[in-house]
Amino acid sequence: MFVALGFLLGLVALGSVMPIVDGTMLPSFLPLLAAIGLVLVAVRLPPAEASRFGALVKPLVIGAAIPALWILFQMAPVPAGLAHPVWASVKAGFPSPVAGSITVDIGATAMALVSYLTLVGAILLATAVTINRDRAEIVLITLTGATTLLSVGLLATSIFGMAHPAAREELLDCACLGVILASACACFVYERHETRRAKLGYGDARFVYPLLASLAAFLISATAVAISRSGSVIFAACCGVGLFGAVFLVRRLSLGRWGAGAIGLTASVIVIALISGAAGTASDPRLAFVRKDPATVELTQRILADAPFFGDGAGAFSSILPIYQFGDDGAQERKAVTAAAKLSIEMGRTMLWAAVIVAGLAVVLFLRASAKRGRDSFYAAAAASCIVSLIALAFINTALFGPTLPVLSAVIIGLGLAQSQGRNAA
C-alpha cells in the first residue's frame, strides 16, 4: 500500500504546483495518478482494511453518482423542449435534423465529467490509503506542508506582485485550508505526545520541535490570509479554524452535549449576524459577497437570469459567455465571479443548493464522528472545518473550479472519512 500512498502524495504534489507552474498538460496527469492509485488499492488493500473501506465509501459512491448522472443527462440528446435554445438557432445551418442537448458544449461537459470523476477517485484513493493510522499521519503532514508552501508562494507574490488574479485567488483559498490543517497538525502532535508520554514515558524534548513547526505553519498561513485584506476570505478562514478550535475545546474540557450546543448556538448567531451585515441589501446570495468591478458582476447576473433549470452544461460557461459579451466586454475575465454562480449556471440552481445541503450534512456527520473518536478525533474535525470554509469560499471567488483547491479538498475529505471510525467500528 505504500506504492498507492506514493501516488496519493504525487496527486497532492502535482495539484499543488499547478497554480505556479505553467503547463497545459499537467492537469491531464491528475486522472492518470488517481486511476493508477485506485488500481493499486484494488490489488493490494488488505482484507481487513477492504471491509472498512467498503462500509465507509458506500454512501459516498451512491451520492457521487447523482451529479455524474446529471452531467450525462446534460450531454444526451433530448427533445426540443428540453434542449438548450442555442441548438434551435444552429439547426438551420445543417442539411439534416440535429438532436439538441441541454449543454451548449458537449466536449466541455465531457471534460467536466472527467474532472469530477477524478475528484471522486481522489476521495476514494485517500480513504483507502489513510485507513491505516501511520499513513494517515503522513498524508496529514503532507497536506499541511503543501498548503504552507502555497501560503509562502502567496506571500511572495503579494510582496512582488507577480501572481495572476486567478492564481492568487486559489493560493489564498489554499491558505485558508492551511490554517485549519496546521491546527490539526498541532493537535496531532499534542495528542501523540500525551499518549506516548503516558505509555512510554517520553519527555517534552520530542514534543517541542514538532509543535513549533505546526505553529510556524499556522502563522505562515494565517499571515497569508490576513495580508489579503479581504474581509470575506478572512471570515471563511475564521469559520473553519473557529469550528476546529471549538471541537478541540469541547473534547479537552469535557463540556459534553450541552456545552457543545451552547457554543454552537452562540457561534451560529454571530455568523448569521456577520453574513447579514456583509450581504447588505443584496438579493442574490450567489453574488452578495463579491467585491469585483460592477461590469463583471452584471455580466454574471445576466447569465444567471437566463440559465435554464438543468443548467447550460457542466464546464460550458466559457462557451456561453461570448453570447452575453458586447463591444469591449471581450476584454473582461472569461469566468464567473463566484463558484456558486458558476455551478448554478452550468448545473442549475437546484444542483447548487443541493450541493450546499449535502456539504452541510457532511459537516454534521464529520462532527458526530469526531465526537465519537478518541485521540484521532482531529481528522474528522479538520475535514468538517475545511468543508465549512469551502462553503463560504464558494460564495466569494471561483477557486473551487481551479486545478489545486479541489484536489486538496478531495484528499482532506478522504482523510477525514477514513479516520471517522475506529478499527472496531466497521
Model confidence pLDDT, tens digit, residues 41-95: 998 888 888 888 988 999 999 999 999 999 999 998 887 777 777 776 766 656 6
Q: How far apart are CA 310 and CA 182, in angstroms?
A: 40
User: Within a domain: residue 155?
Assistant: yes
The contacts of residue 195 (CB under 8 Å, 6+ apart) are 375
- Of the candidates 120, 122, 80, the one whose C-alpha atom is nearest the C-alpha of residue 102 is 80
Task: Tally the residues of the chain.
Answer: 426
Neighbours of 260 (CB within 10 A): 17
Specify the amino acid at residue 307: A
pTM beyond 0.85, yes or no: yes
- pLDDT of 234 higher than 60: yes
The verdict on residue 245 lying in a domain is yes
Nearest to 84 by CA among 364, 233, 303, 387: 303
Instruction: Tell me, yes or no, whether 353 lies in a domain.
Output: yes
When pLDDT is averaged across residues 354-382 and rounded to a whole number, the result is 89
Question: Cell 500512498, residue?
Answer: 5
Question: What mean pLDDT do residues 310-333 have?
Answer: 74
Please say if the pLDDT value at position 407 is more than 90. yes
Position 424 in a domain: no
Q: What is the mean pLDDT of the chain?
A: 83
Confidence of residue 331 (pLDDT cuts 50, 70, 90): very low
Long-range CB pairs of 163-171 (<8 Å, 24+ gap) are 165/333, 166/333, 166/335, 166/398, 166/402, 167/19, 167/20, 169/397, 169/398, 169/399, 169/402, 170/19, 170/399, 170/402, 170/403, 170/404, 170/405, 171/19, 171/224
Residue 426 counted as domain residue: no
In a domain, 282, yes or no: yes
Over residues 22-51, the mean pLDDT reads: 87
184-205 pLDDT, tens digit each: 999 988 887 777 665 555 556 6
Tell me which of 54-58, 304-308, 347-351 is least confident.
304-308
Give the range of the structural domain holding residue 275, as residue numbers without chain letter: 1-419
Residue 162: inside a domain: yes
- Considering its fold, how many domains does the chain have in total? 1
Question: Does residue 425 lie in a domain region?
Answer: no
